[in-house]
Amino acid sequence: MLKGIARFKPAVRRNTLLLSSACLWTVIGLLLLVKGGYRWYQLPDHNPLIIAVGIFVGSIKSFWILDKSARRGIDRILNFADGTCLGAVYSSKTWILVLCMMGLGVILRNSSFPVQLLCFLYFTIGWALLFSSRLAWREWLRR
């Protein structure tokens, strides 16, 4: 029975897992930056300080928090054998965190927080994800 189910497992090489990780971080980061830019453009004052501070804080978040997480994920992937399931790109704990962050995004988007704060959050988180994706890209290119 398990052998029959196993043939449907989306098994991939470690290099594919690294590429998937890099792409996910990059795409999500870019989407958040675009969403922040779109919201920022709708503001009556278009204050560039929101973008600048968001990217500055995002860089700090990237160096101090997300880079560590990205390195742990890369090390985890490198310890896998080829033929690991594509869903193993992240641990179950990380997938739960992703779902919680998506839920928090929905709550924030529908909240009464000032648009300037939402723009700042989008820029900060988007830039941090995009900037930290460099580690997975570097490891993928190395292989």
Mean predicted confidence (pLDDT) in 110-136 = 94
Task: Work out the average pLDDT over 2-9.
Answer: 63
| Cα–Cα dist 106/61, whole Å | 22
pLDDT of residue 88: 86
Could you report the per-residue pLDDT of 12-36, keeping only the tens digit for each? 899 999 999 999 999 999 999 999 9
Burial of 76 (0-12, 13-18, 19+ CB in 10 A): middle
How is the chain split into domains, by residue range?
11-142
| Mean pLDDT of the residues in the chain | 91
Looking at residue 60, its pLDDT comes to: 98
Q: Which helix (H) or strand (E) holds 83?
A: none
Beta-bridged to residue 37, according to DSSP, are none
Provide the pLDDT confidence category of residue 5 given band limits of 50, 70 and 90: low
* Contact predicate 90/98, CB 8 Å: yes
